Structure 1
């Protein structure tokens, strides 16, 4: 034992590692008899054996000789001693085997001594978490918190860490009632354990009043992360945004048709009403219905960005009251009383006096935002009448005029073809006084 302590003093390393070595193994003398499935190798960079003198060589030995079921490697180069001086940089390697392995044999493959390999008792996930210092003990000691991107592994290490952290947060908030720490609720929302609505239900009135903005910020960040991952998938599949514009008179069934099309997409959809805060309640849905869209509800440039077919590649933020929302939509359906051209004209209309007479005029054609910018973003334009539906196309020779592209289709969505029975007015009036 004295020889061991002399060796450890000669080659110091993290105290947590030393204590584990001392408590879990009788060092090199017992290395020959210890067999385990999970183990951690720790060594300073300056003492790495020639066989694994750098990370690439280390990975080659691990993958070609040791062949563990899972492994993860990180260089700890940002830790400090109690006096604030930097600790010597060193590698931590977590190894998980399908069957128990001899620590001595493992050390021999690495070209090092068995005392630098620790049998990992308990939950193996704690071992992976320790690579980032995400264990409770490491956090309590103020250890530097490493990022998952600094780890090299043969599996989805970042995904594992997200699951581990999500389980920890979920354990804190799984109760159905009572007050919760706001940081636990925010973490649960950020990790996708709880939605914004669920978090708000768990908050006290005082918490909601004080932290409402933080809730919006964290939710927006959650949506951005989801949107970024979704965009990567869409880009890999070569997909782009599809925009459908439905217009027609009141009762023609525009909203009914939009809902039907959204349901056919077989994915959750967001119904945005005509308001000044259109995307306030957006939650990352991949289909969006902009219902009863009217001019000037949204800035024209914002609308152009949202409807841009290539927004999947570039990403787009929708304006919201507290924090702009990152959109992740591959289908947007617009319903409006206005055709796209009428919408564009009205967007830039204003009241002007002509010889003491007030008239409405549009200055759309005097700006840089010409109609073509809106028109080319729309995949298909559809006009709904009470009896029929038409696919329309703007006439390139006569701006503002539309021509029918295909044969008309009977309209099954209109109020005329889907009558709803209003309550009997006489009975309703009588019920108010009984």
Structure 2
């Protein structure tokens, strides 16, 4: 295994500090080295771990892991490739500076061929900065969940850096093609189409984005793996743009109000509508693409009601959807639960802060035949009948 940097972790009883010093002494291929003994770490059960070394090495040129292991007299399996692309987070981990849930070691305990304490003091801000970039690079911090990982001061401080990292991440993923699955779901209102779409997305481990009802349906999209086109209308999107969204062979930008959106990260696109596919197609006035272009992009078509889902799959040879199977609606309990949770009149009174009128009360009980409107002189001067537009 060729490495430009690595971490060695070995129990102290199998590797002495003298062996470490002998291994690194005079090796010009090592650019930077630093190590520490962790003797206060706890395992997942809260039990003390055996004292062990963490040794971080950065090389001027790539080195083979089997030779690195020989330097220290250990098995090659203890020479690890770091998941971090930068050396700084590795150095920070020596004292758990970037793992605050673990025991915090004193920087003075670290042995290094550079001033480690100065590194920690001068680059404390950069450690967090590097950690944020590292988490973005790994896909842990994304454009739609960054508020879960960053506080407001961090986001304000590193906003441009974060936005540049997200942009780089998007562009680096662009390959000109993608692996996108498209599901078309039709059914009456209230049968659970959107609930099922969300359920399926969660089941696959995807984050999801539900399109809005305005002109810019992708307003707010931040790279979620699943896009739910919820009751999309023809007025919000041209059919040619719509077809382009569903195409696996291209990843062209989709029009959006401020910045056109790349859907590179989208792996599942679900269309929910009350219309069957033929009538949905007819909604678009400028449907300059034939219906078959739409159908072949939607590999799976589902017809839903409150209790069942009928699944169809597009047959490319016959150029039509073939019936495959029928399933129980997995979200039907949610539909029935929402019906059961409708408020009683008393609960509605409490919620609205008002008291409802007795049942069967109608306007005939209210005598208005002899009602008079009396106005003061001052009111008469200002009175002009109905408000403007209602006369």
The two structures have a TM-score, normalised by structure 2, of 0.51
Aligned to 2:342: 422
- RMSD in angstroms over aligned alpha carbons? 5.1
Q: 1:218 aligns with which of 165, 182, 200?
A: 165
Q: 1:257 aligns with which of 193, 196, 216?
A: 196
1:245 Cα shift?
0.8
Aligned to 1:270: 208
Q: 1:384 aligns with which of 290, 304, 321?
A: 304
**Matched ranges for 1:109-128 at <5 A:** 122=34, 125=56, 127-128=58-59
SS in structure 2 of the partner of residue 122 of structure 1: strand
2-structure distance, mates of 1:201, 1:165: 22
- Do the aligned partners of 1:190 and 1:219 also contact (CA within 8 Å) in 2? no
1:411 Cα shift?
4.2
- Tell me if 1:202 matches 2:152: yes
1-structure distance, mates of 2:198, 2:30: 59
- Do the aligned partners of 1:190 and 1:221 also contact (CA within 8 Å) in 2? no
5+ residue gaps, structure 1, are 1-68, 74-96, 107-115, 132-150, 349-362
SS in structure 2 of the partner of residue 219 of structure 1: helix
Q: Deviations over 1:354-405 (max 9, x none)?
A: xxxxxxxxx42xx2x2222211101111111345433357899xx9xx8772
Aligned to 1:335: 272
- Tell me if 1:162 matches 2:100: no
2-structure distance, mates of 1:329, 1:182: 34
1:294 Cα shift?
3.0
- Do the aligned partners of 2:88 and 2:130 also contact (CA within 8 Å) in 1? no
- Do the aligned partners of 2:253 and 2:260 also contact (CA within 8 Å) in 1? no
5+ residue gaps, structure 2, are 6-18, 36-54, 66-78, 102-123, 355-391
Q: Deviations over 1:119-172 (max 9, x none)?
A: 9663574643xx4xxxxxxxxxxxxxxxxxxx6554799966624244579988
- Tell me if 1:192 matches 2:135: yes
Number of paired residues?
272
1:270 Cα shift?
1.0
Q: Deviations over 1:219-245 (max 9, x none)?
A: 2333444x46xx89xx9xxx9432111
Return closer, same or farther for 1:175/1:301 CA change in 2, 3 Å cut-off.
Answer: farther
SS in structure 1 of the partner of residue 231 of structure 2: coil
Q: Deviations over 1:282-340 (max 9, x none)?
A: 3453x4433333334345444333322345xxx56555544634532433222222333
- Tell me if 1:372 matches 2:292: yes
2-structure distance, mates of 1:117, 1:189: 30
- The structure carrying a bigger helix percent of its residues is 1
Return closer, same or farther for 1:317/1:222 CA change in 2, 3 Å cut-off.
Answer: same
2-structure distance, mates of 1:102, 1:172: 25
SS in structure 1 of the partner of residue 283 of structure 2: helix
The two structures have a TM-score, normalised by structure 1, of 0.47
